[in-house]
Amino acid sequence: MKKMLVADEIRQKLQAAFSPQRLEVIDESERHRGHAGYREGGQSHFRVEIAAPAFAPMSRIQRHRAVHDALGAELVSRIHALALKIEG
């Protein structure tokens, strides 16, 4: 059985939690080759851009916490860097 890519796991969990109007998950790992946290094969550095009505009443910190909660501690622990752009 083929293991799911981290980007696909991120996409799946955020889709289920927020039903976003827009969701982009970009693996930027290759841009960090030679830097701390880089792993051969990538899947270590991600940029997520998400827009969902659920975020509208939240502060910036609440939005970030909600995304981290939706991803779960196990998945977050496998990611070295996660850049978030969140719109309500």
Three-state DSSP class for 30?
A: helix
Average pLDDT across each block of 10 residues of the chain; the chain has 88 residues. List them in order.
85 98 91 65 87 98 98 94 96
Cα angle, residue 56 at apex, residues 53 and 60 outer, rounded to 5°: 130
CB atoms within 10 A of CB 31: 12
Domains defined for the chain, CATH in brackets:
6-87 (3.30.300.90)
Q: How many CA atoms lie within 13 A of 25 on its CB side?
A: 18
Supply the pTM of this predicted model: 0.86
Distance between first and last Cα of the chain = 37
